[in-house]
Amino acid sequence: MQQTWYQECVALFKALSDETRLRIVEMLCREEMCGCHILKAFQITQPTLSYHMKILTDCSLLLARREGTLVQYRVNPEKISMIQEFCRELSSVCRTPHDIERSSL
């Protein structure tokens, strides 16, 4: 895997390292939503939501499109696939405690 791939993964995992952002992504995996509907689901201010959305869109985890005065957000399926691929790769090379115990016998 190339260095840039790892750098993209780092950016994605950093973006997901906050509970609010993780919950936003989970919501948007279900359906596209406007920022106003996302805001209603959380006990945060609009500037705080904007901060989180910027982090999620800067790493391209979320895609945004303007619809009149509203901004509609959805997850970027390519980035979700990238996260899944990384996790699959990691699980294929990681040894479980059961594997470690068996190899020491």
User: Which pLDDT does position 5 carry in this prediction?
Assistant: 86
User: Which pLDDT does position 97 carry in this prediction?
Assistant: 65
User: Which pLDDT does position 60 carry in this prediction?
Assistant: 96
User: Which pLDDT does position 70 carry in this prediction?
Assistant: 93
4-59 tens-digit pLDDT: 988 999 999 999 999 999 999 999 999 999 999 999 999 899 999 999 999 999 99
- Which tokens hold the place of 15? 């973006």
User: Which pLDDT does position 40 carry in this prediction?
Assistant: 94
Domains of the chain: 15-103 (1.10.10.10)
User: Which pLDDT does position 50 carry in this prediction?
Assistant: 96
pTM value is 0.83
